Amino acid sequence: MRNLLKLWLLLLFSVPVLAQNQTVTGKVTSSDDGSAIPGVSVVIKGTTRGTTTDANGAFQVTAANNAQLTFSYVGFKTVTVTVGNRNTVDVKLEPDASSLNEVVVTALGVVRQQKELGSATEVVKADKLVQARATNIAQALSGKVAGLQINTINNGVDPQTRIVLRGNRSLLGNNQALVVIDGTQVPQDAINYLNPNDIENVSVLKGANAAALYGSDASNGALLITTKKGSVTAPRINYSNTTSIEQISFLPKFNDRFGAGTESYSREYIPFENQSYGPEYDGSTKDLGQTLEDGTIAKAAYSYNPNGKLSAFDQGLVQQNDLSLTSGDQNGSFLISLQDVNSRGVVPGDLSRRTGGHLSATRNYGRFSGTFNVDYRIKDVDRSTSGFYNNILNTAGNIDLNQYRNWQPLRLDNGQLNPANPNNYFNDYFDNPFFSKDINRQNRVDRYLTGNVELRYKAAEWLQFLYRVGVTNQNFESKSTSAKYAYSAYAKQHIYRAKDLPGGVTDFSGYEQRINQDFFFTANKSAGPFKATLIGGFNLQERKYKQVVTSASALVIPDLYNVSNRVGEPGASEFNAKARLLGAYGDLTVGFKDFLFLHMSGRNDWSSILGANNRSFFYPGADLSFVITDAVPSLKNGNILSSAKLRAAATRVGQINLPGTFGAYQLETVYTPGGGFPYGGLAGFTLGNTANNPNIQPEFLDSYEVGAELAFLGDRITLDMSYYTQQNTNQTVRIDVSPATGYSGALINTGRLDNNGFEVDLKTTPVRLDNGFRWDLGINYSQVNTNVVSIVDGLKEINLSSYYGVVNSGLYQIFAVEGQQFPVVKVVGYERERDAQGNIIPGGRVVVDPASGYPLKSNELINLGRTNPRDRLGINTTLRYKGFSLSGTAEYRGGNVIAHGLAETMWFTGAAYATTTYGRERFVFPNSVTKNADGTYTANTSIAVKDGGLGAFDSNLRNFGENFVTNGAFWKLRELAINYTVSPALLQKTRFIKNASVGLVGRNLVTLLPKENIYTDPEFNNTTTNAVGVNTNAITPPTRTYGFTVQLGF
């Protein structure tokens, strides 16, 4: 670390703060219509130093008078001009009918031209990432790339994301995409800490074909994040502020007819009941709660309050401030950026603050060059752990919850007992949700450091050596607290408050560290019509993880959250994991006449977590790119066909998918403390319940892909199409074994998962006028199917909910089922008509009990379909006119179902609208039959259920998971942004302001759901594992944000 620090200081302070040569300014415009072109790369030829044009097409660099400036931008021809004695250089770029010349960052950070690539790659540039001022990159990428699915698992001040490319490949292993920052592999959650303003672009390598050189973790594709570097310019400062408000966008559809009550048949009003199976609202005033200690009783209007639950939430506020400084000359540059994101959530009291900075420095020393990048963030989150949303959902519909916020005083200023105080709260079965929220908290602080040093040596014009070391270090600490609280003697007469709250505290701390080193050479040679690039090198990855947990379950002194302040024995545990991987790789690209490119790669890994005989495994890959229009120029028909390319790829990648942290020690004999130990001074350990299998091998993914890239009308229309198929064999599966062995399970290699799909990416400029008006439109579509071909003899399905420990009632569980899409939801369902072989008839009528009229349960779980979307459609559009722009992103997902965990609880309490379907009157179950003694069925037209309220929906129908599964489709307006860039002519009067813009931004402004989904956003899930498909009431409801943004450059 000392040497790294020295190098950092050397790179930073050797960069000149002021330019040493003349300052050159200018503007880049389109030769077609004279409009300014933002984002044009301006590079001093022969160096890697340069800048980019701003929103007005303006640039500023420092260069010698004999220097040459190269101007390049996607869709335009590259231009190189000599500076000479000029201080102003204005350039017009002509449209280029060959977008295949665009450069793309690929595996190992190697830059290649688009036409050389034989596998699907998509680049999302900086302007698309920040157009709606998203606070993290994952949100900013949603809907912008075909085949990329980003799920916001939950909402609130600390949302989690799941990122998957081209669906699933592994039954029980990792299916999430690899994240790489400036060539360094990092944990996927690092993407949630980065500042989108620091990102130059994100290259999405969609398949294993494009990412094989990164090793085992790359079988799921990769997101290559390139951060911004310093500009060759005099010092430039940029500042931006975005202030956004966040509001609840929608809540479930509630019971708006009936109030508190629980008896199955009498339907009497019960003022202290938490279930809403009472009489219909009549607008009268009724008692609320029990008679209080002073003999008084609260009153409430007995009519539905449509804002009663919504009033429990706040209006959230997000304030984002960014500041950056950049400077440099031909020999070096630097960029420093700082960010502060301060969030106040919609749940009262929930707070989050992310602060940090980014530093990038480069320096050239003759044949040597060095790059240093470091990103450091601190994220501090304070949130409730009480199940606040669940309590809000299930409160009677006539209650205005806003009045119960101030729970602390026992009495109000007027001397009356405070109805919000826990001792006086009206509900006998759960506490005031504001009280529960405030006394059950978690404060977590994460400190995230990501950095790398890259050294290059140019031995010859054709030979270069590179060494890169990257470090990711996450330190985390959290404190979860539950307050000690003593109820009054009066309150203890009621069921829920019979015992005092003992309080508790849990401290959790630790770190995760990854060190990634690469050393490789790059050789470029040409011979006649051939040119070749050869890469060879080594990769070393080291991973460490540690966590320590201490806890106390009963406090002595209230509000002192220290493990020493306890009654009884403390809880304590520690966990450590280490893993190492060494890889050797080679990569060869051979081009023929600049239109045919063959690319081959191979890698061998040695992993410490596998058995000694299986630690080494090799995997190769190859792809081919054929630019038809360069091979046969006559195919370019004027301005109709601009370019055409065909590509194909095949590769094999090994992936180690052992459970646990890094998969460490899963094949070793491991002992853990036994239950109830240590007991006093007696220690006890027990052997793990999974038999170790040193013969476990990696899973192997065989991936095949074909595609075409077409451009028309001078690149005003581009079309990229891909079809892929993948087979993942040798799956790592845990099977049950006889308890007589001393174990309950064992890991084996077995099973196969097949994955296939196609992607279409269309980009077009339908309108481009001479007056500066331009309309860009992008549409991307993908379809993905994943089929479980086999698991293991005698095992036809795996309960993923159980495997991952995902808690639910058991009414709906996620499975991998042989011969079915992966995964599917299986539910406790209705018994239906069966055929002569005893099989349920699809769409058959429901069988009811002839005595009660209630439906009967099926003897087996019912498969209701896939939970991962089959179809994804993204629409991106931008309209520009002079300084104004309007940008938007919409996304559709469909072809899947979702199980609503929150609905089950709402049926129990009667808060769900569905429980009012029959007006709480007796009804004949729709489309039902009774079963006759001879096995035939008779239509049920007269046997009504005994009770149409609590008896039907709580005691009976709530026990069928089938009732809580709906279509999982949605449409979302992900982003909408209106921006105005101030004219440079106006800014000249200020002298010191170089550029300025203001705008309005919005995210998730509109969500459209199928009519049957009256519960919540189907994007939400209760897990980031493969067991997706169930949401929960332990989240924050969906929200939308509106904001104002201003940007200034000096």
Strand order, beta sheet including 928-931: 846-847, 928-931, 937-939
Residue at 458 is within a domain: no
- The pLDDT, as a whole number, for residue 1041 is 97
- The pLDDT, as a whole number, for residue 738 is 81
Mean pLDDT of the 435-448 span:
97
Q: What are the tens digits of pLDDT across the range 1031-1049?
A: 998 889 999 999 999 999 9
Angstrom distance (rounded) from CA 612 to CA 661: 20
- The pLDDT, as a whole number, for residue 113 is 84
Alpha-carbon torsion, ordered 853, 854, 859, 860, to 10 deg: 130
Neighbours of 877 (CB within 10 A): 15
- The β-bridge partners of 368 are 365, 457
Residue at 784 is within a domain: no
Residue at 78 is within a domain: yes
Residue at 316 is within a domain: no
Angstrom distance (rounded) from CA 418 to CA 429: 18
Closest to 1027 in 3D by CA, of 173, 31, 4, 143: 173
- The pLDDT, as a whole number, for residue 968 is 97
The answer to whether residues 531 and 596 touch, using CB atoms and an 8 Å cutoff, is no
Angstrom distance (rounded) from CA 422 to CA 443: 24
Tell me the pLDDT band of 725, cut-offs 50, 70 and 90: very high
Burial class for 940, CB neighbours closer than 10 Å (0-12, 13-18, 19+): buried
Mean pLDDT of the 676-680 span:
75
Q: What are the tens digits of pLDDT across the range 481-491?
A: 999 999 999 99
- The pLDDT, as a whole number, for residue 563 is 95
Scan for tokens 């459970």, then name that residue: 659
Average pLDDT, whole number, for the chain?
Answer: 91
Mean pLDDT of the 401-414 span:
94
Closest to 515 in 3D by CA, of 545, 537, 535: 545
Radius of gyration of the chain from its Cα atoms, rounded to whole angstroms: 32
Closest to 600 in 3D by CA, of 649, 551, 636: 649
- The pLDDT, as a whole number, for residue 12 is 43
Tell me which amino acid residue 892 is: Y
- The pLDDT, as a whole number, for residue 5 is 44
Neighbours of 9 (CB within 10 A): 12
The answer to whether residues 206 and 165 touch, using CB atoms and an 8 Å cutoff, is yes
Which DSSP category does 435 fall into?
Answer: H
- The β-bridge partners of 547 are 510, 575
- The β-bridge partners of 830 are 857
Closest to 885 in 3D by CA, of 978, 956, 755: 978
Return phi, psi of residue 255, to 5°.
Answer: -65, 115
Q: Count of H helices and E strands in the chain?
A: 11, 56
The answer to whether residues 260 and 250 touch, using CB atoms and an 8 Å cutoff, is no
Residue at 479 is within a domain: no
The answer to whether residues 171 and 797 touch, using CB atoms and an 8 Å cutoff, is no
Is 60 exceeded by the pLDDT of residue 4?
Answer: no
The helix (run of H) or strand (run of E) holding residue 437 is helix 433-439
Give me the half-sphere count of Cα atoms (radius 13 Å) on the Cβ side of residue 471: 14
The answer to whether residues 289 and 946 touch, using CB atoms and an 8 Å cutoff, is no
Angstrom distance (rounded) from CA 546 to CA 134: 32
Burial class for 357, CB neighbours closer than 10 Å (0-12, 13-18, 19+): middle
Angstrom distance (rounded) from CA 80 to CA 89: 11
Domain that holds residue 26: 1-96
Residue at 133 is within a domain: no
The answer to whether residues 59 and 51 touch, using CB atoms and an 8 Å cutoff, is yes
Q: What are the tens digits of pLDDT across the range 749-763?
A: 999 999 999 999 999
Percent of the chain at pLDDT above 90? 71
Angstrom distance (rounded) from CA 941 to CA 845: 13
Give the total number of structural domains in the chain.
1
- The pLDDT, as a whole number, for residue 76 is 76
> Could you tell me the CATH number of the domain that includes residue 11?
2.60.40.1120
Mean pLDDT of the 319-327 span:
95
What is residue 902's three-state secondary structure?
helix
Residue at 944 is within a domain: no
pTM: 0.89
Q: Residue 600 is encoded by which pair of tokens?
A: 């081959």
The answer to whether residues 605 and 693 touch, using CB atoms and an 8 Å cutoff, is no
Closest to 374 in 3D by CA, of 465, 269, 470: 470
Percent of the chain at pLDDT above 70? 96
The helix (run of H) or strand (run of E) holding residue 897 is strand 897-900
Residue at 91 is within a domain: yes
- The β-bridge partners of 465 are 457, 521
Q: Where are the beta strands (DSSP E) in 257-399?
A: 285-288, 298-301, 316-329, 332-344, 351-365, 368-384
Cis peptide upstream of residue 850 (ω within 30 degrees of 0): no
Angstrom distance (rounded) from CA 587 to CA 605: 15
